[in-house]
Amino acid sequence: MRQVHHMIAGDAAGSASRHGEVFNPSVGEVQARVSLGAASDLDRAVAAAKAAQPSWARTNPQRRARVMFRFKELIEANMQELAELLSSEHGKVVADAKGDIQRGLEVIEFSCGIPHALKGEYTQGAGPGIDVYSMRQPVGIGAGITPFNFPAMIPMWMFGPAIVCGNAFILKPSERDPSVPNRLCELMLEAGLPEGILQVVHGDKEMVDAILDHPSIGAVSFVGSSDIAQYVYARGAAAGKRVQAMGGAKNHGIVMPDADLEQVVADLCGAAFGSAGERCMALPVVVPVGQSTAEALRERLVPAIEALRVGVSNDAEAHYGPVVTAIHKKRIEGWIQTGVDEGAELVIDGRNFTLQGHENGFFVGPSLFDHVTPTMESYKEEIFGPVLQIVRAPDFESALALADDHQYGNGVAIFTRNGHAAREFAARVQVGMVGINVPIPVPVAYHSFGGWKRSGFGDHNQHGMEGVRFWTRMKTVTQRWPDGLAEGDLADAFVIPTMS
């Protein structure tokens, strides 16, 4: 059986202790075993990072950027291989897997411009003969803990900016689909990255805790569920690290009475059910404003959802594939039952979906609920599956309050032709990322990604200039070059300096 090992100091390294199973979700069978590392494995990776990082930090930004340019070319040349490998372990269809890789690659493209992004500030003559300037310097060794749902994109969101800023980076990807992160590491080495600058360690909570506690790791980036994000933030910060921890979501789509419902239905089908709903930027809640809007939307939604094609990950005609594991499939179906028990109307039931010839695959059909209320647990919590909930609102203010009052504040969208309503909504809603007639408002790579409330812990967002700020520390230098000791200088030396 295929083995997935750590990538430490440029070499595949096995672990003699524990292993996890990597499934093919389309058939429900184990296809590989992944090493589950321990603190000793992390120690070896940190030692290699310590040896390599000082020289890498002294490498000028242009040369670091050239490695990223070569890495970009290699990703593009190997796109099909990477997408098929990703699909085989995650379950998302190949076209969606290519999108996963491409969105990560766009952050690599941003990272290629690091010489400009690292420029500091300079003030000549801030005081008599005094100049002040700032510089951004790497943190040293950073680490990333990434989720199963984007095994290419989110690692590149993290290690691209971190490495190009001069840091060494240790990646701990999800043990559910670990092969693409290893392949990304191999391609970075092929692009000319020195050994020890990017390494991959696999594991579970034991490895996560080792990363959070290790005194030589200065910064940690995390994406996952909110409870774990809060844990990572608290433990990492207590250990003196800077931490950015992105959590869960329950994104709302507000549908105003003047919205283009045909476009809304197409957007909702893709945003709610694409990648089997396993996206933190999925749109699992739609909020039609007014009863007539709700009835008209439901009338169009039902046939559109019933026409969705669920298939194996390499089915080019499938809209989405299986979920990642049997445990996750059971969890999603449990939430559907919870919604029924709470009194929501299950309009379309995706449970017990089977695909001929793949009866053991981890498939969940699309589900639609109507008359969901804010008091229901199935509304309050993240389902992370192909389930869309309709929560009806009588007016704009009520719809806005739904998004504002929810524990999560990752993304939100409004569908309308009214510019005033859109502007008012964007200004007032208490959510980190807003889409106006855009169902999945993930910012482009040169802007930054991040949510509010329990969707984000820490002061910096992912990628863009926020990523550069997170992976560097600001140093400010105040300098003067006096000709000699002038009259009065000795007395002035005992007074706090000012620029007057």
Token digits of residue 191: 């692009």
Question: CA-to-CA distance for 185 and 135, rounded, in angstroms?
Answer: 29
Closest to 456 measured CA to CA, from 246, 308, 293, 266: 246
Q: Which residues pair with 435 in a beta bridge?
A: 413
Closest to 411 measured CA to CA, from 269, 222, 230, 252: 252
Residue whose tokens read 């109307």: 345
CB 367 within 8 A of CB 349: yes
Other residues' Cβ atoms within 10 Å of the Cβ of residue 324? 24
CB 148 within 8 A of CB 177: yes
Token digits of residue 248: 């869960």
Closest to 19 measured CA to CA, from 29, 30, 10: 30
List Cα–Cα distances, 405 to 223, 289, 308, 422, 499, in angstroms.
23, 17, 32, 19, 48
Residues with a catalytic annotation lie at 280
Q: Which residues contact 74 (CB under 8 A, 6 or more apart)?
A: 187, 190, 191
Token digits of residue 339: 């919604």
Q: Which amino acid is at 457?
A: F
N- to C-terminal Cα distance for the chain?
Answer: 73
Token digits of residue 7: 């990538």
Helix, strand, coil distribution of the chain in percent, nearest 5: 40, 20, 35
Question: CA-to-CA distance for 242 and 233, rounded, in angstroms?
Answer: 9
CB 338 within 8 A of CB 377: yes
Closest to 241 measured CA to CA, from 167, 182, 348, 307: 167
CB 156 within 8 A of CB 222: no
Q: Kindly write down the DSSP assignment for every residue of 235-273, as one continuous string.
A: HHHHTT-EEEEE-----EEEE-TTS-HHHHHHHHHHHHH
Q: Kindly write down the DSSP assignment for every residue of 346-384, as one continuous string.
A: EEE--TT---TT-TTS-----EEEES--TT-HHHHS---
Residue whose tokens read 């502007």: 423
Using the 8-state DSSP alphabet, how is residue 449 labeled? B
How many residues does the structure list for the chain?
500
Question: CA-to-CA distance for 55 and 472, rounded, in angstroms?
Answer: 16
